Amino acid sequence: MNAPPPDPAAPFAMPRGGPAAARWDRLYETGRAEYIDLPGDPATTRRVLRGLDRFQRLTLGYRTCARLTAAEFGPAPYPRVLELGAGCGRLAYRILRAHPTARVTASDVNPRVVEELRAGPLGRHPRARCAVLDATAIDAPAGAYDVAVMAMSLHHLPPAGVLALLREGTRVARTLLLVDGWRHPLCLVSVPLMFLTGGPAQAHDGLISLRKVYGAAAVRALAGMCGAPLRVHTRFALPGYLVATATRSSYAPAPAVPTRLRTRK
């Protein structure tokens, strides 16, 4: 007797704690939407982004993510970095300041966010490019970057989106770096600080984010389902981050040209 075909919806019904998530983890999970993901309210989106920016600066989140990104591109003479879900763009700007030969594409799926990036320091930086890009369908050739990084945004994607991100991120970059919150109820102690840095809207989104972040087991399971030959490593980083790196078993980098980026999309 032939075995039944695999259910294509199975990975998308997987708990965010992973296939073998405990019962408490499944109860901890939420499907509620964050304000930042709701269309039609740009004022609230900007307020939440400002709160996120203050929170990340206060907790040294940008410094941590910039250090993790630099560790992945290593001694490359002209590192090419793609930031997915750039938000306010402060991580991209920090990388540019710390690495004088780095070239960074700061991208976001929200055109309004990218317009604000172009109107700020990144829009005037000779080694920066601001672009509207969908992290699940990246408009870039294979091997265009040394590192693609998504910081504090993975939980915004459903499992199907994570599968596409893993495929696309490892297609366009030698290494895909994912940094997000660690999945554990103890991390909820940070919600009062989110209220102080961004008010009720930021506390609302922060609480939901912490309940929607993917566990390490979920990331590894989704990597095994994405259809690309990936090597994935996950670990915990202080003060409470999940750090995941994904690479393909075969990678062909595009030619690197050490010129100043002026193109804007």
- Residues contacting residue 47 through CB under 8 Å, at least 6 positions apart: 198, 199, 201, 202
Closest CA to 82 of 133, 156, 152, 157: 133
Strands 80-84 and 145-151: parallel
Query: What CA–CA distances, in Å, run from 145 to 38, 90, 158, 161, 175?
Result: 30, 19, 25, 21, 8
Q: Tell whether the model's pLDDT for residue 259 goes beyond 50.
A: no
In whole angstroms, what is the distance from residue 107 CA to residue 54 CA? 20
Q: Tell whether the model's pLDDT for residue 213 goes beyond 70.
A: yes
More confident call, 11 vs 1: 11
Tell me what pLDDT residue 252 has.
Answer: 58
Q: Tell whether the model's pLDDT for residue 161 goes beyond 60.
A: yes
Tell me what pLDDT residue 250 has.
Answer: 67
In whole angstroms, what is the distance from residue 212 CA to residue 71 CA? 27
**Cα 170–82–60 angle (5° rounding)?**
110
216-236 core/surface letters (b: 16 or more CB in 10 A; e: else): bbbbbbbbeebeeebebebee
Summary mean pLDDT of the chain? 91
Q: Tell whether the model's pLDDT for residue 114 goes beyond 90.
A: yes
Strands 128-132 and 103-108: parallel
Please name each of the domains of the chain with its CATH number.
32-248 (3.40.50.150)
The verdict on pTM exceeding 0.85 is yes
Tokens of 94: 């920090």
**Cα 243–26–84 angle (5° rounding)?**
35
Tokens 């920016």 appear where? 53
Query: pLDDT per residue over 235-257, tens digit each?
Result: 999 999 999 999 998 655 665 54
- Write out the chain in H/E/C secondary structure: CCCCCCCCCCHHHCCCCCCCCCHHHHHHCCCCCCHHHCCCCHHHHHHHHHHHHHHHHHCCHHHHHHHHHHHHHCCCCCCEEEEECCCCCHHHHHHHHHCCCCEEEEEECCHHHHHHHHHCHHHHCCCEEEEECECCECCCCCCCEEEEEEECCHHHCCHHHHHHHHHHHHHHEEEEEEEEECCCHHHHHHHHHHHHHHHHHHHHHHHHHHHHCCCHHHHHHHHHHCCCCEEEEEEEECCCEEEEEEEECCCCCCCCCCCCCCCCC
Name the pLDDT band for 27 (thresholds 50, 70, 90): very high
Is the bond into 192 cis (omega within 30 degrees of 0)? no
Q: Tell whether the model's pLDDT for residue 260 goes beyond 70.
A: no
Tell me what pLDDT residue 126 has.
Answer: 98
In whole angstroms, what is the distance from residue 112 CA to residue 74 CA? 33
